[in-house]
């Protein structure tokens, strides 16, 4: 019965997945088949196990700190391991501000580059440019941090930061002395780290915009830019938002490069020229130095907060990108 | 009337050219850091790279010279340990998603794998610290390898699934029609056809974790000497680069640049191999 229906649907309907054909043909009595299916199933299930494991391990490691500090942990700004005072607010603040700076830089650049790659650039330039962006994505964080310490920061300090101070020194954002390592430098290095992912995901989104959109715009006499803006970018708005959120998720968890350039001082100040600290950097710097149990517990709780924030952001990004993928695919089919 | 329309048309054309120009400048800005990083890596790294770097242990604090041979070997050992954990789980899990399961369960698992790919790598370090280091009361190569291996799982799983789905159905049907059992069909026909793509995914995952530092900080921990047992702390190239980069010594800074040049060269070699492999794949499978 099953065998009879499978080829029929193949002949008339959309392509049948390998699964249904094979299900119809396989003989379930074979031990090898069952064993292999269960083995691969167990392996696939590890992704679910790992999500639970991370959550459980981080909670388990910080349960004492959670009981001791409660909600205050998230809103207290004193971080003094010697006095057993632990508040995560400066790290949460530093993570959010540095990621925000990174997004302000990387989103316009990334989306403009994606639009250039899919709509505006001459054809011969596109593939080499894509390869270069993939290479940028392959540079390890620690190497970007090394370059940040010895090349980027001295240059930033002497030129852009000095200009910014001269122009906007009267605002609280750019007031105070310039040290070099600071919140702004951290944001810039995160921007470099997340540019490849924002660009390549945006490029995929723009590529999935049906050509009919473009043809309609050109048919009405639109220029190249007008077609890009009206028919492509506004059509892909939701997907591009998904790409931005995905970039935010990466920005929040970026560790090595930021740790090397942000200055690592737990404080909440308006000036972007002052050093800051992020959730990920405090883990990188202090984890092996945690001498007391409660110190270690507090660091585990920092890890839990970081995991919580990034998982929420990533869930949102995946949901946004997934609805796009399905709707654009169905539209393309129709 | 006619004149103003012509003028507005010219203006629209100028605007279009201007937008293209801005987009071009953005693209140049995006790849500028790549060029600058490469330039400085070569300038600073090549001058500090010598035979000692590949043959000697790190010099004691204050002494000039020495190398990173233990870190290079340590990184390779960690990659091997990570591969033992990450490759079988990732590949077989990917095969399950492509060949078995219900659509709903698979979309949930796929979703979870994508979410795992977004988990900050330092989180894995914390988790493995809790799981292994605290339990056995020692930093170890095992812990470092486990942390890197766990990062590999969702990466390999997703790439394997994608390439296995590319194998045409006719191959499966032909094998099954000849009476070959299902699992043998998958292993000998489907996975073999997709092997280039699967290997590509594995290599990319290895290149990615080869440069990871954060998950190793408190698992592998680093070591200035040879590692004699996998249950002891072990050196790794990215870790050593980090330690040297934030140190106050000029000679260590030079070593950090040399290490960075070696690491990036390794990663780019893998990427070039992948590019050559994928060029062949599009021809053979699709």
Question: Which tens digits make up the pLDDT trace of B89-105?
Answer: 999 999 999 999 899 99
A26 to chain B, any CB pair closer than 8 A? The answer is yes
Does one domain contain both B34 and B57?
Answer: no
Determine, for residues B176 and A26 on separate chains, whether the beta-carbon distance falls below 8 Å: yes
Q: What ipTM was reported for this prediction?
A: 0.93
Same domain assignment for residues B143 and B252: yes
Q: Can you point out the beta strands (E) in chain B?
A: none
CB contact under 8 A, A287 and B183: no
Number of domains composing chain B: 2
Contacts of B160 in chain A (CB under 8 A): none
Six-digit token string for A96: 């959010």
Residues A100, A149, single domain; the answer is: yes
Q: What is the arithmetic mean of pLDDT over A15-30? A: 58
Give residue A317's domain range. Answer: 72-333
B191 and B211 housed in the same domain: yes
Cβ distance B228 to B202 under 8 Å?
no
A141 and A274 together in one domain: yes
Structure confidence at residue B64 (pLDDT):
82
Residue of A nearest to B165 (CA): A18
Tell whether A14 and A131 lie within a shared domain: no
Q: What is the pLDDT of residue B66?
A: 86
pLDDT digits (tens, 9 = 90+) for A166-213: 999 999 999 889 999 999 999 999 999 999 999 999 999 999 999 999
- Its pTM stands at 0.91
Looking at the structure, do residues B106 and B125 belong to the same domain, yes or no?
Answer: yes
CB neighbour burial string for A191-202, b if at least 16 within 10 angstroms, e if fewer: bbbbbbbbbbbb
Residues B42 and B157 occupy one common structural domain: no
Q: Assess whether B146 and B59 both reside in one domain.
A: yes
With a CB-CB cutoff of 8 Å, which residues 85-114 of chain A face chain B? 108-110, 112-113
In chain A, what residues touch B114 (CB-CB under 8 Å)?
314, 318
CATH number, residue A144: 1.10.3720.10
- Are A170 and A291 within one domain? yes
A78 & A63 share domain? no
pLDDT at B130 over 70: yes
In angstroms, the separation between the Cα of residue B266 and the nearest Cα of chain A is 11
Same structural domain, A64 and A89:
no
**Whether B96 and A120 lie within 8 Å, measured CB to CB:** no
Instruction: Identify whether residues B108 and B148 lie together within a single domain.
Output: yes
Let me know whether A93 and A58 are in one domain.
Answer: no
Q: Is B39 on the interface with A (CB under 8 A)?
A: no
Taking a contact as any Cβ pair under 8 Å apart, which residues of chain B between 60 and 119 contact chain A? 88-90, 92-101, 108-109, 111-116, 118-119
Q: Do B177 and A25 touch (CB under 8 A)?
A: yes
CATH number, position B134 = 1.10.3720.10
Same domain, A238 and A129: yes
**A20 and A84 within one domain:** no
How many domains are there within chain A? 2
Arithmetic mean of pLDDT over chain B = 92
Looking at the structure, tell me whether residues B160 and B63 fall in a common domain. Answer: yes
Three-state DSSP class for residue B250: helix
HSE toward the beta carbon, residue A64, CA cutoff 13 A: 11
CA angle centred on A193, ends A189 and A194, rounded to 5°: 120
Joined tokens for residue A320:
């946004």
Residues A242-256: what's their mean pLDDT? 96
Q: Which of A28, A43, A69 is the last residue of a domain?
A: A69
Residues B72, B75, B76, B77, CA torsion sign: positive
In this structure, the answer to whether residues B154 and B209 fall within a common structural domain is: yes
How confident is the model over B183-233, as pLDDT tens digits?
Answer: 999 999 999 999 999 999 999 999 999 999 999 999 999 998 998 999 999
Single residue among A15, A39, A69 that ends a domain in this structure: A69
Structure confidence at residue A21 (pLDDT)? 59
Question: Domain limits at B20?
Answer: 2-48
Coil/strand/helix, residue B207: helix
For B16, phi then psi, to 5°, come to -65, -45
The answer to whether residues B117 and B30 belong to one domain is no
Q: Are residues A238 and A156 in the same domain?
A: yes
Q: Which of B47, B88, B91, B120 to mutate to test the interface with A (most CBs of A within 10 A)?
A: B120
DSSP codes, A10-54: HHHSSPPPHHHHHHHH--TT-HHHHHHHHHHHHHHHHHHHHHHHH
In the three-class reduction of DSSP (H, G, I as helix; E, B as strand; rest coil), residue A86 is classed as: strand
Query: Residue B65's pLDDT is what?
Result: 83
B152 with B219, same domain? yes
pLDDT score of B62: 75
Q: Is A111 in the same domain as A216?
A: yes
pLDDT band for A13, please (50, 70, 90 cuts): very low
User: Given A69, A97, A114, which residue is the final one in a domain?
Assistant: A69
Q: In whole numbers, what is the pLDDT of chain A averaged over residues? A: 89
Partner residue facing B114 (CB), from A58, A108, A318? A318
Overall average pLDDT of the B79-87 stretch? 98
Q: What is the pLDDT of residue B280?
A: 56
- On whether both B27 and B101 belong to a single domain, the answer is no
* Cβ contact A50–B181 (<8 Å): no
Say yes or no: A10 and A140 in one domain: no
Q: What percent of chain B has pLDDT over 70?
A: 96
Question: B29-52, pLDDT tens digit by residue?
Answer: 999 999 999 999 999 999 889 899
Q: Which of A48, A146, A307 sits opposite B245 (nearest CB)?
A: A146
């Amino acid at each position: 019965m099953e065998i009879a229906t499978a080829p029929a649907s193949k002949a008339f309907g959309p392509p049948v997945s390998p699964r249904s054909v094979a299900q119809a043909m396989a003989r379930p009595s074979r031990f090898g088949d069952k064993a292999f299916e269960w083995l691969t199933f167990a392996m696939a299930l590890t992704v679910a196990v790992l999500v639970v494991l991370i959550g459980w391990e981080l909670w388990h490691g910080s349960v004492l700190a959670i009981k001791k500090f409660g909600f205050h942990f998230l809103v207290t700004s004193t971080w003094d391991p010697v006095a057993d005072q632990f508040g995560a607010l400066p790290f949460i603040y530093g993570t959010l501000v540095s990621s925000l700076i990174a997004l302000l830089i990387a989103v316009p650049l990334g989306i403009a580059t994606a639009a250039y790659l899919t709509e505006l650039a001459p054809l011969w330039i596109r593939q080499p440019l894509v390869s270069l962006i993939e290479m940028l994505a392959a540079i390890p964080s620690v190497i970007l941090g090394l370059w940040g310490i010895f090349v980027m920061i001295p240059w930033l300090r002497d030129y852009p930061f000095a200009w910014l101070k001269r122009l906007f020194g009267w605002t609280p954002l750019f007031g105070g002395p310039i040290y070099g390592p600071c919140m702004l430098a951290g944001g810039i290095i995160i921007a470099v780290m997340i540019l490849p992912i924002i660009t390549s995901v945006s490029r995929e989104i723009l590529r999935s915009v049906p050509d009919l959109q473009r043809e309609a715009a050109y048919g009405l006499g639109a220029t190249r830019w007008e077609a890009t803006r009206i028919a492509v970018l506004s059509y892909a708005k939701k997907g591009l938002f998904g790409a931005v959120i995905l970039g935010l998720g990466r920005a929040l968890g970026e560790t090595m490069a930021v740790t090397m350039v942000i200055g690592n001082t737990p404080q909440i100040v308006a000036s972007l020229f002052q050093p800051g600290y992020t959730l990920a950097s405090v883990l990188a710097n202090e984890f092996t130095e945690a001498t007391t149990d409660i110190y270690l517990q507090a660091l585990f709780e920092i890890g839990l907060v970081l995991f919580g924030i990034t998982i929420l952001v990533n869930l949102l990004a995946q949901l946004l990108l997934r609805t796009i993928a399905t709707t654009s695919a169905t539209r393309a089919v129709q | 009337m006619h004149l103003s329309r012509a003028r507005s048309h010219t203006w629209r054309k100028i605007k279009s050219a201007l937008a293209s120009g801005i987009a071009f400048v953005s693209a140049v800005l995006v790849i500028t850091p790549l060029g600058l990083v490469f330039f400085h890596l070569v300038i600073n790294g090549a001058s500090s790279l010598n035979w000692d770097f590949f043959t000697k242990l790190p010099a004691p604090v204050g002494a000039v010279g020495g190398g990173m041979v233990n870190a290079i070997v340590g990184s390779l050992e960690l990659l091997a340990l990570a591969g033992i954990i990450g490759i079988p789980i990732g590949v077989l899990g990917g095969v399950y998603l492509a060949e078995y399961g219900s659509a709903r369960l698979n979309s949930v698992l796929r979703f979870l794998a994508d979410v795992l790919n977004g988990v900050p790598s330092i989180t894995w370090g914390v988790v493995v610290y809790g799981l292994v280091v605290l339990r056995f009361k020692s930093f170890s190569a095992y812990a470092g390898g486990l942390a890197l291996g766990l990062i590999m799982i969702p990466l390999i799983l997703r790439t394997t699934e994608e390439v296995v789905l590319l194998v045409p159905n006719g191959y499966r049907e032909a094998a099954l029609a000849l009476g070959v059992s299902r699992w043998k069909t998958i292993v000998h026909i489907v996975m073999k056809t997709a092997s280039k793509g699967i290997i590509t995914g594995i290599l990319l995952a290895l290149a990615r974790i080869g440069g990871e530092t954060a998950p190793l900080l408190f698992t592998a921990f680093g070591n200035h000497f040879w590692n004699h047992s996998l249950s002891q702390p072990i050196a790794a190239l990215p870790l050593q680069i980090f330690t040297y980069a934030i140190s106050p010594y000029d000679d260590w800074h030079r070593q950090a640049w040399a290490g960075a040049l070696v690491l990036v060269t390794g990663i780019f070699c893998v990427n070039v191999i992948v590019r050559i492999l994928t060029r062949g794949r599009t021809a053979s499978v699709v």
